[in-house]
Every structure is written in C-alpha cells, then in structure tokens.
Structure 1
C-alpha cells in the first residue's frame, strides 16, 4: 500500500499515554518550528540580555528529556550516570550545528516515545538530592512526563522570544 505506514510492530498508544505524548510532541513542534530557517550563527545568537540561544535551548531540552527518561527507568542513579555540563548544555559549541542538535533532539524524542509505551506510569522513584527538589520527594513516571512537557513548553516560549528578537519571526503569536 502506497502512503501508509506499517504499524503492526508499534506499541498501541491510547488514552493517557497518547494524551501525554501528544502534548509533549506539540511543544516539541513549537520548539522545532521556532528554529526553522535559522543559520547556525543565528541559532547561537544571544539576542536578549539572557545567555539563552535558540540552539542552546534545543540542546538543553534534548538533554533534559533524555535524563528524565533515564530517571523514569532507573531512578536518580540512572539520571546521574552521565555527568552534565550545566552551563555548556545551553550553548552551541563551535563544532555543533543547528541541524546536529535538531537531529539529536529527534533521536531523543523517538526514544522517549517508544519508551513511554513500555513504562508503568505509576512506577515511582525518589528524586535526586538537589537544592531545587523537595528532600525525600518521590515522582511517578507520569509526573516525570508532565515535568518534561512543562520544561519543553517553557523553553519553547523562551526560544520564541529569542527568535523574534533575531528576525521578527514568531512561532506562537
């Protein structure tokens, strides 16, 4: 059949999982659209008083989603298994391109989408020790997904403001 995708080996997504993934994908889409047509130089441009850039935000959101999905599977130890460059995650280095960070983000998104179909949304893990988390707090996989959605939406808004100051293009308004 031409124009159809064989979905026989894909997990069924319905109900809550479908809603969570649809919401996450919508905000991912806002972030991707915000970057459309930017050069690597523009994607690395600090266009406001903030140090944030469109490319850096995409890089950060991809890293954040990947880390939270590691947490969803294996808790704080899995999330912290790989060190994170807290400042470097927000900037494009000289050897990174917008296309490269968008490709990496697409791979992270595909892995998350596949993973969500396999997880128990009620499974829970204690959060890592950090000053921004309530001591002793425990999050379910569902709460992790809601956090990733919120983080993605917030940073898509940041990226939209940055993009508008670069060339007047607005994604969300």
Structure 2
C-alpha cells in the first residue's frame, strides 16, 4: 500500500522564526555553509591574533568577519529599501572611504567575540527575511557606481547569490590568513 499522507513543512526554524523551504532553504543552506567556514577560521584565536595581519595585505580575520557582516547587512537593506540603502558612491568622502577601510581591521576596543556576535545577528536577520520575502524576483535598480553595470537591476535572488559568493570568497581569504598566522587550516 502506498502512503499518501502529506507531510507539512516545518513552519519555524530552530530559533522559532519562520522556516525557509524549497529554493529559499537551498540558498540559505549554501550561505550558511560558507558562513561556517568563515567563522571556523577564527576558532581558538585570541583578539590579538584575530586582529593580526599575516600576509602583506591589510586583511585580518576579525576584519574579514566585520567586512562580510557589513556587506550582508547592506545587501539585505538593499532588498528591503532599494538603492538608497547602499549609499551614493559618487558622494563618498575621504572619511567615508576610511570608515570602509576600517571594516577590514579589528579596531581598538573591538573583540572577536563581539564581531562574531554581530555577524550572527546579521545572519539571523537575513535568514528570517529570506523565509518570509514575498517574491525572490522583486528587484531594485543598482546605485550608480563604477563597479555596477549602468542601468542594471538585481532581484532579491541575485542579491542572495552575490552575498553567497562574497562570503565564499572571503572565507577563502580567511583560510589563507589563518594558515599564514599559525598553520591551521579550515579545509584540509
């Protein structure tokens, strides 16, 4: 006999928020995988180690976490608010560029635990939004910037794919920084 009972999808996630299903669950699972690898590169580090540059670049592990947090927050704001959420790149001042550069550093008074907690908050917000967003095809025009195609629009889906790619790319950077720091590898 064939079981024809339908099984309802879960309606809440582990934190009691709405659960994503289907394509949304797939997107979030991939994002969570790369978030995990990024966070893993900071395992058992002190604040001093998380702020140390281990290559000739400006990158440090705490700074990479801060940057990915800011990127994810900004793109989720874009999904909700449109291009104004990302700012006017033509109007950026030297001070604005300096603040962006500080995203890549663990500044005095900042801790690894603090930046990881901030990242967890942003991740939770993203996950909750993706679960309830009415339409992944909803789009906004991209703001004018030299790195965006003129007149382009990005859907919520495209934004999520971009956040996944950005997170994966920086998880790779973090793996290199960590290995140069103390020989530890997150993948291998």
Tell me whether the two structures share a fold, i.e. TM-score over 0.5. Answer: yes
1:146 paired with 2:161, answer: yes
TM-score normalised according to structure 2 size: 0.85
Give the drift of 1:47: 0.4
Runs of 4 or more consecutive aligned structure 1 residues displaced over 3 Å after TM superposition: 6-10
Q: Give the Å deviation of 1:98.
A: 0.5
**Tell me, what secondary structure is at the counterpart of 1:157?**
helix
Pick from 125, 131, 147: which aligns with 1:132? 147
CA RMSD, aligned part only? 1.7
**Superposition map of 1:40-119 within 5 A:** 40-80=47-87, 85-119=99-133
Q: Aligned-pair distance for 1:14?
A: 1.3
Any stretches of 5+ residues in structure 2 without a counterpart? 1-10, 89-95
Q: Report the Cα distance in structure 1 between the residues aligned to 2:50 and 2:17, rounded to whole angstroms.
A: 34
Identify which of 35, 44, 55 aligns with 1:37: 44
Aligned residues: 167
C-alpha deviation, 1:146, in angstroms: 0.1
